[in-house]
Amino acid sequence: MSREIRRTMPLLSMNIVMQLTELSARQIRYYEEHHLIEPHRTEGNRRMFSLNDVDTLLEIKDYLEQGMNMAKIKKLFAKKNEPVSTDEPNLSDSELRRIMREEMLQAQRMQKSSIRRGDLSRFY
Amino acid sequence: MSREIRRTMPLLSMNIVMQLTELSARQIRYYEEHHLIEPHRTEGNRRMFSLNDVDTLLEIKDYLEQGMNMAKIKKLFAKKNEPVSTDEPNLSDSELRRIMREEMLQAQRMQKSSIRRGDLSRFY
DNA sequence: TATTCCATGTTAGGAAACCTTACATGAACT
DNA sequence: AGTTCATGTAAGGTTTCCTAACATGGAATA
């Protein structure tokens, strides 16, 4: 399974994205308001983020820390996402999850070790 | 970030693990009771699973479908985590591939995907 | 300087998701 | 028939997340 697919699957809840990005929920929702990310929603309306969303958030964070404002960031992202456009077939969600499972099955994992809360942002 | 760390990070909530594994919450908790997985907990006592946990759950599921009971599965996992043995072939590879094939034929998940058309075209 | 704007904090009220515990059930053994 | 096993289900409680609204402090601007 390709890396890209893995990275676009909506796997992560708000809680964990806050930890991975060290952003507040308010900030994350604000950036969504500005259409910089568009997280998936569960049936119950909970946001579910992909790893790509996390990447984007980290990028936004970085730009803001550099003094860029939302308007500029928006333009920057607009340019980034512009060029490619074709009409391709869509894959169903179930297919995506199937692919995900496949990938996981192939992994040869041997041992677990637990990671303490708070370690995540350091490693990401 | 190393692969090991990626796979042991507790990123996933119950909800998404149920979807990835097609197991019920009851089942997942039951396997935890039997110490086959030990998901992390948030401060509020919510389970957070790693990709390795998902992997383990899929393995359990397969064994159960093959008619194995928990006692045997436990022993199997115990052996697996023992120091490496030189002779015996790894049967889980072919088994895993079998599950994969089975699951490919399956479908119908509940959640709609946030993955936009275009993201997958490069890979299919 | 005063005003407005921007990015974020905070609070409130409600809903969804998850928790544990306990009891129910049907299939497979004994 | 009784027991065990794996799972379902229900109840009652807690945590996490939601939206909406208002608050705020610093920057930009009039």
| A106/B96 Cβ within 8 A | yes
Residues of chain B contacting A107 with CB distance shorter than 8 Å: 7, 51, 55
Q: Which of residues 59-118 of A touch B (CB under 8 A)?
A: 84-98, 100-102, 104-107, 109-115, 117
Q: Per-residue pLDDT tens for A11-36? A: 999 999 999 999 999 999 999 999 99
Facing residue for B81 by CB, picked from A8, A50, A111: A111
**Is the pLDDT reported for residue A112 higher than 90?**
no
Confidence category of residue B121, pLDDT binned at 50, 70, 90: very low
CATH of the domain at A53: 1.10.1660.10
The pLDDT value recorded for residue B79 is 80
Least confident of A5-19, A80-94, B60-74, B110-124: B110-124
Any domain includes B93: no
- A122 close contact with B: CB closer than 8 A: no
Residues of chain A contacting B91 with CB distance shorter than 8 Å: none
> Which helix (H) or strand (E) covers residue B48, if one does?
strand B47-48
| A12/B120 Cβ within 8 A | no
In Å, what is the separation between the CA of A64 and the C1' of C6?
A: 12
Pairing assessment for the beta strands A40-41 and A47-48 based on DSSP bridges: antiparallel
Domain count, chain B: 1
Any domain includes B49: yes
Q: Per-residue pLDDT tens for A49-108? A: 999 999 999 999 999 999 999 999 999 998 877 766 555 556 665 565 656 555 444 332
| A48/B118 Cβ within 8 A | no
Any domain includes A67: yes
Q: Name residue A48's beta-bridge partners.
A: A40
Measured distance CA(A16)–CA(A49) in Å, rounded: 9
In Å, what is the separation between the CA of A61 and the C1' of D12?
A: 41
**Minimal-distance CA residue of chain B relative to A40:** B114
Confidence category of residue A6, pLDDT binned at 50, 70, 90: confident
Quote the domain boundaries for residue A27. Answer: 3-81+91-105+117-121
Facing residue for B111 by CB, picked from A93, A104, A123: A93
**Is the pLDDT reported for residue B94 higher than 60?**
no
Amino acid at position B7, single letter: R
Burial of A52 (0-12, 13-18, 19+ CB in 10 A): middle
Confidence category of residue B4, pLDDT binned at 50, 70, 90: confident
φ, ψ of residue B47 in degrees (nearest 5) = -70, 140
> Which stretches of A19-82 are assigned E, i.e. beta strand?
40-41, 47-48
The tokens describing B113, both together, are 């995907």
Any domain includes B106: no
Reduced to 3 states, what is the DSSP secondary structure of residue A47?
Answer: strand
Any domain includes A29: yes
Any domain includes B96: no
**Minimal-distance CA residue of chain A relative to B54:** A104
> Which stretches of A46-120 are assigned E, i.e. beta strand?
47-48
Any domain includes B9: yes
Any domain includes B70: yes
Residue B23 CB contacts under 8 Å (≥ 6 apart), including other chains:
B17, B57, B61
